[in-house]
Amino acid sequence: MIRLEHVTKTYPKASRPSLDNVDVSIDKGDFVFFIGPSGSGKSTIIKLLLREVTPTRGRVVVNNRDVGTMRSWKIPNFRRSIGCVFQDFRLLPNRTAYENVAFALEVIGKSRGVARRVVPEVLELVGLGGKEHRYPHELSGGEQQRVAVARAFVNRPLTLLADEPTGNLDPDTSIEIMRLLDRINRTGTTVVMVTHDSNIVNQMRRRVIEIESGRVVRDQPRGVYG
Amino acid sequence: MRAKYVLYEAATGLWRNVTMTVAMIITMAVSLAMLGASGLLFLQVDKVKELYYAQVEVTIFLAEDVSDEDREALDRALDSDPLVSHYYYESQEEAYEKARELFSDAPDLVEALRPESLPESFRVQLTDPEQFREISVTYIGWDGVSEIVDQERLVGDIFSILNAVQVMALVIAAVMAAAALLLVANVIQVAAYSKRREVSVMKMVGASNWFVQLPFVLEAVVAGVIGALLAFAALAAGKYFIIDGPLAPLSMLLTPVPWRNVLLTLPALAAVGGLVSAVTGWVTLRFYLKP
Ligand SMILES: Nc1ncnc2c1ncn2[C@@H]1O[C@H](COP(=O)(O)OP(=O)(O)OP(=O)(O)O)[C@@H](O)[C@H]1O
Ligand SMILES: [Mg+2]
């Protein structure tokens, strides 16, 4: 469950709000695309949901927690219920695919034994079986993004946030990553994805929320790009 | 496993950034050594003061034409004065005997001395030596009293030198400490910057704040404690080679520096070094690694 209630976000020193009175509700298990022109405020929504920034006005509720007023010491635990994928993969270059995923488990206190059991499983799931011990520079862009998806999913989050996950990939590879996110969504995980990719949006026919200048201008259940 | 991770990260952090680490350790060592030295000096000055004060006596010299009544009145007053711990009377003959002894290697001087030329006096020891002024004020106006002299003034010069040295050591220690703090803050920032990728992934997946920060803080604490060990080694060497060496004759005057005090600086400096590093590191990271 994700709810944005009359959310306005004005960054410090900004002259106009990046988000202006946005009202959105996303049910558990939904799959939602956020689309819109550059600078319209899509990434700002992701940052609000992750509590990287707080709303200037309004309420942001994620997994039944009011993120805007959350005390800072509660943030780490909150983030464990969320997986993130970004356009630039954000892998650690000096760690293998396996180690990158295991790192995400170990730093939240899971034992090495758990990692040994779970990481190969999830790498298999994203289609990287056999490439566990490759370093990021030994993997293609698509494969690197699979590692990132595996890392986001390994902790079985309730929600997966993806900010232009296919932004750096060619169309075929993009479709493969989309299939992956779709599969993850079918396990019950809520997926929120920001994208510029009209092909993907048109092919998937999922809920589309279009943002322009910080306002919601369209919210369509089985939408197309535009 | 998590402990192992944290220790490993701290160790590799120290090694990766080895020039800065060495700079931090040296600055830490110098400032802690100054701190330890001024601490020792502080203890020392206190002890010297105690020693001198115990010997300080106030001398009330009597006028040449003092009457017997005046002398007796003074005697009674001193006897009942709570500021006086004990006192005795020194006649002109006794003063003459003392002077002859004191100047025995200058016979010409002794020759010139006459008992009549030396004043009689009361030699007074105080319950609290620092209150000699009250004694002066009380008795200076009495009939038959010519002058009141105390040895505080002699001791005072030594004390003002010691105090100046003490203040100087503290000032240097403070300046060095400021430099050490800035270096610790800088080293931590460089370390955090060189691991920004790891840190951003850790924050993204929800690693707890202490888990993100502990390796960096530990890095600073280890450097601080090593600095403290070096500072202690420097102080011990100073005691062994300088205080007990060329400066040994001075200890007649200034009381010797005991090993016990020198050893005491080890835990004190280690605690100060470790704590200062930890707090600086933690505060730096709070600003540097916002949630
Ligand atoms: N930290 C910031 N400080 C000030 N203004 C910001 C900040 N971050 C974003 N903005 C502004 O907020 C607006 C929305 O930014 P946002 O990153 O959400 O856009 P976006 O829709 O993700 O764009 P794109 O498609 O190019 O990624 C932009 O005008 C941007 O300049
Ligand atoms: Mg964006």
pLDDT at position B1: 52
Task: List, as one string, the DSSP characters of B165-192.
Answer: HHHHHHHHHHHHHHHHHHHHHHHHHHHH
Over residues B160-219, the pLDDT tens digits come to 777 787 788 778 778 877 888 888 888 888 888 888 888 999 999 999 888 888 888 988
Contacts of B53 (CB under 8 A, 6+ apart): B129, B130, B155
B207 and A103 within 8 Å at the Cβ level: the answer is no
Would you say A166 and A173 are in contact if contact means Cβ atoms under 8 Å apart? yes
Mean pLDDT to the nearest integer, A53-69? 94
B61 within some domain: no
Per the structure, how many domains does chain B have? 2
pLDDT at position B125: 83
CA distance A84 to A41: 18
Highest mean predicted confidence (pLDDT) among A16-20, B12-16, B64-68, B155-159: A16-20
Quick one: B277 and B202 in the same domain?
A: yes
Over residues B30-47, the pLDDT tens digits come to 888 888 888 887 777 777
pLDDT at position B179: 81
Quick one: B259 and B189 in the same domain?
A: yes
Q: Is the CB of A87 under 6 A from ligand 1?
A: no
Quick one: B178 and B255 in the same domain?
A: yes
The torsion angles phi and psi of A92, rounded to 5 degrees, stand at -85, 120
Query: Which listed ligand is nearest to A19 at the C-alpha?
Result: 1
Would you say A183 and A189 are in contact if contact means Cβ atoms under 8 Å apart? no
Domain span at residue B116 reads 66-143
Locate B281 and state its tokens. 């590191």
CA distance A144 to A128: 10
Quick one: B187 and B278 in the same domain?
A: yes
Q: Does A106 touch chain B (CB under 8 A)?
A: yes
Quick one: B168 and B124 in the same domain?
A: no
Over residues A109-153, the pLDDT tens digits come to 899 999 999 999 999 999 999 999 999 999 999 999 999 999 999
Quick one: B13 and B134 in the same domain?
A: no
**CATH label of the domain that carries residue B127:** 3.30.70.3040
Task: Tell me: pLDDT of A52 over 90.
Answer: yes
A155 and B200 within 8 Å at the Cβ level: the answer is no
**Comparing A6-10, A26-30, B101-105, B171-175, which segment has the lowest mean pLDDT?**
B101-105
Quick one: B222 and B262 in the same domain?
A: yes
Question: What chain B residue is nearest to A76 in terms of C-alpha separation?
Answer: B206
Quick one: B84 and B117 in the same domain?
A: yes
CA distance A35 to A206: 12
Quick one: B11 and B33 in the same domain?
A: yes
Q: Is the CB of A11 under 6 A from ligand 1?
A: yes
Global pTM value: 0.74
* Length of chain A, in residues: 226
Query: Which listed ligand is nearest to A210 at the C-alpha?
Result: 1
Task: Tell me: pLDDT of B252 over 70.
Answer: no
Given ligand 1 and candidates A19, A40, A48, A212, which is best to mutate, with the most ligand atoms within 8 Å of its CB?
A40
Task: Please choose, from the candidates B199, B134, B146, the residue with its C-alpha nearest in 3D space to the C-alpha of residue A107.
Answer: B199
